[in-house]
Structures are given as structure tokens and as C-alpha cells.
Structure 1
């Protein structure tokens, strides 16, 4: 019996770089195409894009960029930051391999006793997780209003309890993560509607996945930052939503959680 372990890097207690994601990044570097890279890993085209969107959203800089033009009509490529992340990961992987080999040499599980220590981890189901910087905090004895500025420069307004502010020790200029459910994003093609939602974000529809009842709408809010909304398929039809169309996402400040 041998001891083994996979290497996963986390940001804000969320998986950021897993071995499968590294395989995807290496495949993008080799093929210059998201569809070819997805087949090489393998994973579905949508899963590949979801992984890229997640990495780009959580990272301080984009790991993958879209290229336009050229003989092949464009594609995808690693940024210089993405290249350096891969190189760092591979070095860590090599060190982990040496450590595990040494650990196996020093440990004899077959003749000894050991306990399995379970790690309790909470998996957050919220689809949208965006990294940003705290620009301003206004608080009283009950609530705290926080303004978060992500890479897209769209201001996000979050309302949390004062106790949560103190517990997380959130201060101005801290790096935090804004977390909100896709079901809490309302969409409109108009920038002027009567609604109490504090947050209004303009973007371009990147993808729409439909079923008979609901639809998942993915929106580019900057070059390498996306959010996802779940609305009814009827609403998609009524609003005449389609890929490439400009849309406004509305989110209530109470629906944005803040992690650190």
C-alpha cells in the first residue's frame, strides 16, 4: 500500500487549479483552440469554458485570452500570466512527487495503525464568484455596505451584517470575493427600469443554454470576466435574448455574499 495525493491549489477555499484544469491549460497551449483542447483532455466544450471562466474570474489576472483574426479566424491562447502559473504548478508538482516518495519510504502502513482524518469542507453552490478589491465600507451597529471593484471595474454593492464584517476582518483595499447565485440575477435589455436592485452591470451575452422551463445565460462583463443568470425560457423569448446582444444584469446588494 502506498501513499498518494493529488495537487490542488485553492483561492478563497475554492479549488482554483486542479490537475484536470492544468491539463486543459496545457492542451490550449498546444492546440490554440478550446474545442481541440477540450477533446484532448477530455471534457465537454461547455465544461472547458466553465473551467476557464472560473479560473479567469478568481485569478488576479486572466490565464486564458481570446484571440481574433489570423489565418484560422482566431482562437484561444494562454496569457503570459497563464504560462507562469503553469510553470509554477509543474515545479510544485515535482516537489510534491519527491515529498510523497520520501513519505512512502518512511512509512509502513501495512504493519502500522493509522487514523483517517476527515476534512469537513463546505461546497458553495453559488455559480458566480468574482474576485475584487474593497473600495469603500460604510457601516453601523447592524449592517455594513461594501463597495467591491472587480477586474471589470463594475462596482458591486454588497450589504452584509456588521458581525460578518468584524468576523471576516474586512478592510478597505482588501482582496475579497463576491458570491451570488445565478437565480438572483435579473436580466433586462433596458438600462432604465424601476427596480430596487442596487447593482446594474452591462454585458454581452456569450452563451444561452435552454431547456423547456429554464435557461442559463452567460454574460461577458469584461474581456475575461463572466457572470451567469438562470431565468425562465419564456423570459428569454420575451426579451428576445440571443448571443451577442447587450443586456443589463440587476442584482440586489443583499443577494451578494462576501468571502475572504
Structure 2
């Protein structure tokens, strides 16, 4: 997120059933009619055409269930226009609501001190992706290769995960030490093994503790707590669950190839 101040904003609208009776523009038109005594003068004051002003008045009259604006005879712009007591009450009511709404916005704005720091977290929480695992971390190292780069992220629990991405992707994402990033990993790309020393070619081996095992007809979802409130989920067969003795509280290791880790950043 760019380093810009954040503001809270909003507007007030009055509704009648499912229809919008009016907002600031229509109430402003009513107030201008009260001041000028004519549709022509009021429309000019609020920047509306004469027809648009009358369309708004007709809509408000219909939705209010009683007249709000009464026009005396005398031809276009010449007979004078007045507001009914209902319209005057509507203006006062809207202005009172608007004042309270403004107070609310001011209070909400005062409450967002430090919001800029929390904004990336809100963005990550709201992010939608098909990847089951979304691990937030900070880039600690970028190693340039002949074609691809290796990008290492340290996770909140202290463990690291390495992703293999192209030069173009690393540059486009602005990946550099200190940059926040998110590792996206499909659950089907995560392999599990018992917590025993094993030499394998997969770059990432995240140690954790089984939190839960959800069995299906053939496969099971196994979630590991890997520290720092982070969890990673794998989908493996029920047979593998039994063979590895995976159960809540047991230690296990999540194994992920670096090429299976997708990286994302906040804009």
C-alpha cells in the first residue's frame, strides 16, 4: 500500500421501502426551492437542469406519499414554488441526521490511527484464492539464478520457505529483502512425512504438530501447526495417514517443492 493518509467517508440517503427518497442532492434541491421560491432558480443553484429538477420533485412527491413541493400557476418559472410543512420537516430531519453522520465519520476517522500498518493484514484476510494454504512472511533473501530466482520467506514462527520464481516475476512483484509477501500452496502439493531425519530433494521441510485430521472416503485433510499461529494443510490418502500414524498431537513434517510455492504481494 502506498504511504498515504487514510480517510473515512460516506453519505446519507433516505429510503421509502425499496426506493430512494433522496440524498444530499435532492434535499439540497428542496432547500434551494425554499430559498429561491422557484424551480428555475433552485435548479440553477444546485447545478440541475429544469427538467431534472422536476423529475426529482415528482419522484419525491410520489415516494413521500404526500406533496413536498407545490407550484403556483403562472407559467414556467413565473408562478412561484413553495414547500409544504412535510418538506420543511424532511429538510430539518435530513440535516440532523447528516450532522450525526458527520460526527460518526469524525470519530471513526480518529480511530484509524495505525490503520495503515494493519491495512496489509486486512488485504490478506480478504484475498480470495483457490490455494488452501496462504502463509504470510517476509522476504529474507533473493538468490539470482541463470533463469529463475530463489526467494526465501521467513514465517511468523521462525521457519523459512523457499519459492522458485522467474526473474520477471521477482522483478514484477518487487521481491527484495524486507518485503512482505504471501506464499500460496495448494493442499495437494503438500507432502507429509514422519518427524524423522530424511534426505529428500524437496527444498522446503516445515516441522509441525498435527492439529486435526479430517477423513473423507478416500483422502484426508491433515493440518499441521508450524509455529507463530501458522497452519499448513495437506491432502493425502487415508492409507498414508494410517501408515504415518498421523493423529492430533503427533509430530510431522510438511514437504513442499520450491517450484510449487506461488508468491503474492500487496499492491
| Range class of TM-score, shorter chain | 0.5 to 0.7
Q: Could you tell me which residue of structure 1 aligns to residue 147 of structure 2?
A: 142
1:1-260 to 2 correspondences below 5 Å = 99-101=10-12, 105-106=23-24, 123-260=128-265
Output the CA distance in 1 between the equivalents of 2:160 and 2:247: 25
Deviation at 1:107, TM superposition (A): 6.2
- Structure with higher Rg: it is 2
Deviation at 1:141, TM superposition (A): 4.6
TM-score, L = length of structure 2: 0.54
Output the CA distance in 1 between the equivalents of 2:200 and 2:208: 18
Deviation at 1:232, TM superposition (A): 0.7
| 3-state SS of paired residue (2:129) | coil
Residues 174-233 of structure 1 show CA distances to partners (whole Å, capped at 9, x for unaligned) of 011111111111111143224211001110000110012110001111141111111111
**Quick check: 1:142–1:163 contact (8 Å CA) kept in 2?**
no
| 3-state SS of paired residue (2:247) | coil
Output the CA distance in 2 between the equivalents of 1:199 and 1:191: 15
**Quick check: 1:219–1:228 contact (8 Å CA) kept in 2?**
yes
Output the CA distance in 1 between the equivalents of 2:201 and 2:224: 21
Q: Could you tell me which residue of structure 1 aligns to residue 41 of structure 2?
A: none
Deviation at 1:146, TM superposition (A): 0.6
Q: 1:233 to 1:100 in 2, by over 3 A?
A: farther
Residues 5-44 of structure 1 show CA distances to partners (whole Å, capped at 9, x for unaligned) of xxxxxx9xxxxxxxxxxxxxxxxxxxxxxxxxxxxxxxxx
Output the CA distance in 2 between the equivalents of 1:141 and 1:147: 17
Count of residue pairs the alignment pairs up: 156
| 3-state SS of paired residue (1:230) | strand
Deviation at 1:123, TM superposition (A): 4.1
**Quick check: 1:144–1:160 contact (8 Å CA) kept in 2?**
yes
Residues 66-121 of structure 1 show CA distances to partners (whole Å, capped at 9, x for unaligned) of xxxxxxxxxxxxxxxxxxxxxxxxxx9xx56xx1426961367xx79xxxxxxxxx
**Quick check: 2:133–2:184 contact (8 Å CA) kept in 1?**
yes
Output the CA distance in 2 between the equivalents of 1:193 and 1:127: 26
**Quick check: 1:216–1:231 contact (8 Å CA) kept in 2?**
yes
Runs of at least 5 residues in structure 2 that lack an aligned partner in the other structure: 2-6, 15-21, 27-54, 57-126
